[in-house]
Structure 1
Amino acid sequence: METPVFEEIDPENDCDCPGCVHWRRVLPRPAGGHPAAARTVILAATAATAATAFGALHAAPAVAAPQAPVRPGAPRADEPDTPQGDKAPLHGPGAKPAPMGTPTTTRADIIRRAKQWVAARVPYSMSEYWGDGYRQDCSGFVSMAWSLPRNEWTGSLAQYGVRIAKDDLQPGDILLFHNPSNPENGSHVVIFGGWTDYTHTYYLAYEETRPYARKQATPYAYWSNSDRYVAYRYKGLAAGTPGTEPDGGATPDGTNPDPAKPQSPDATPYPGAAYFGPGANNKYVTQLGRMLVARGAGSFYTSGPGPRWSDADRRATQAFQQAQGWRGGDADGLPGAQTWTLLVTGGGKDIAAKGETGAAGPPAPSSHGVPGYPGRAMFRPGATNKYVTQLGRQLVKKGFGKYYTTGPGPRWGEPDRRGVEAFQRAQGWRGGAADGYPGPETWRRLFS
């Protein structure tokens, strides 16, 4: 009789390989002791040997390894496995401690730093430190995004924040769960990136978890231990940042501290990504367009912004995102929570005006959202529309119609361009500001 072969599988507690990760999830963990105390014994005898030893072929019933319960709709991979390090200086315990304090930052900078780790796919580790000096675990990730002077842990991060309610959450705030009785059992912290829709049941979470930093739509407050997470707002937000008292906006308890500084009427919470994109037709698209026009995107619209999503909305949104320095997927032309927050609060940078700033003479003022101005696309070679006729007739009325051999018509031509150029030069504009193509300021002056 051949001796059956046995193998013991002992998953390492700190190994990130797929095998150890799998067995840590499926093997039972006894109360107390190292996870390795739970071992699986695998019988590897061949069927022929078994038949010889026992005299008959019998199918042995399979014994299933104990499995953790699976929550409906939540893949097991979304659960964090996030043991963490303790408080430590930047670059690790042997480095020189930095002076303590609460550095000033903004919401936009918090999210920008979080995105950098996500883009770099920083691998999870409770003992390794990234090039910027921050530990590669969940609390080190938040320490980095908040730009703290050292690596904190879930038991100390709260001292840098002010507790807030769920309804007050804004991008850059955190959701923190610290388990004081057993810090490595469930303790975790994530950065709130904005609600995914108006129901406020899911939000975009930025977090450091196995195998690497990620951003993902996450149920509020988290996949597990949801009722034990607490929302905090960083104390060091710069004055004027939405959600701080010096800006005149709402305080963490939702009140308006200064009636003389009412909140913006456009300060509508982000409704969710489902309200924007091809096929969308709702009031939020109209509101988005109007806010974009106010920030310099008027030239993208041939008519006033409306409720039906169009390519003009996409291009205008993309121009605003690019004005913030965003590129790639962060400037896809679809407004996320951060884009919306900047628009409703007046934060970030405006879209730079193009085509009407001269190198010599007085610069043409930027004037977007001019009544009646249909957009630059209506005045290009090959264009045929009623606005070309309207423009030509106004040029004639203003005394700039000498280039027409026949009455102005709907097809854009060289007489139209030369007439516009003459009008622009009469304003004192030169160079690119007098290119013969009407921008919003040319239109405003021509029809004023």
Structure 2
Amino acid sequence: MTTPVFEEIDPASDCDCPGCVHWRRVLPRSPSSPAGRHPAAHRAVILAAAASTAFVAGQAAPAVAAPHAPARPGVPTGDEPDTPQGDKAPLHGPGGRPTGQAAPVKTPETTRADIIRRAKLWVAAKVPYNMNGYWSDGYRQDCSGFVSMAWNLPGNEWTGSLERYGVRIAKDDLQPGDILLFHNPADPEKGSHVVIFGGWTDYTHTSYVAYEATRPHARRQSTPYAYWSHSDRYLAYRYKGLAGGTAGPEPDSAKPAAPVPTAFPGTAYFGPGAHNKHVTRLGRMLVERGAGGHYTSGPGPRWSDADRRATQAFQLAQGWWGRDADGLPGPRTWALLVTGQGKDVTAQAAAPAAPSSHGVPGYPGRAAFRPGADNAYVTRLGKQLVKKGFGRYYTAGPGPRWGEADRRGVEAFQRAQGWRGGAADGYPGPETWRRLFS
């Protein structure tokens, strides 16, 4: 696939078209002009007023490029990302100057672990999104530059050329370090985007950890498969240069360092406030035994009511009652799970009961919305806030973990009802829930 003759974004300031060369020579750059704005676009008013001078060397001046859309911090991540990208370019050195000519297609050898490690470096540094800027490592600070960096490519690619460095794979074959790519050849600025796959977040394979460069900076977050928008148009690719072939080695984090122990770790590792690998393992074993209906996300390392209800369903399936079926795993529960013994949870027992606290259908109670809460009801609340027009506080999400954006959104909704003081504290009670979902 050859590089297109058009650009996806406002051309860079070093454009060598006749119009740009002329205006750079006769009109100095205004210090107030945005960095990277195409000179012809910046002088649009002058060009319109002096059309007779808009022809240089017998060629019409270039068409005015559409200004880049501003950042939209108040729009939830669920909306289409505002991530136009730069064209294919060589690596850049200090001062933003190219280090040389664009290199031919090469696939330097790398590993999955190194791909994720490099991606994490940009996330940790919160590299700002800039389709015309280049980070200290020489890569462009947009979505395709981010993937070029993580894959350790010899130059900056774009969504129209990254596929040359990978092989198509199916969804079920996705592993950390692969990418999900959407390139819109008809209108590259409309939706074109690429992210790095970091692993599934749960057994349903409906969401995954995405590493990406987007506004305001590089980030890592749980994302619905394949993406928030244009989901059906994303394609999965695996880097050709993975050490050991296209399958590549698993990241170190995916390999157990030693045989998985079967001994019960102790009651201290389970219950409210617990956050450890044993909770994750418990949840996965419960899913395998038929209790997956209690999980709407996860299982994960943070103990939740879904873990308690799934554990209780398994205990009840064994015929236990009372304190023996309290939803907290003990040595007997653990032993049956790790050895595959005992009775599986039936479909009826696995179905979660619909909450109805304080007589309000669907309301799970105040405990579901407090600092440290992580459950599906927080996600549902956040999505409803966005739907009702109170989602401006979200810069990412909404998601299952309760945060300040959730609280401020609830508070804004409560104040819109005319409530003040303690009635507008940002924590949803039964009446807030009833009105929000009415």
Q: TM-score, normalised by structure 2?
A: 0.42
> What is the TM-score with the length of structure 1 in the denominator?
0.41
**RCO higher in structure (CA 8 A, sep ≥6):** 2
Tell me which structure has the larger Cα radius of gyration. Answer: 1
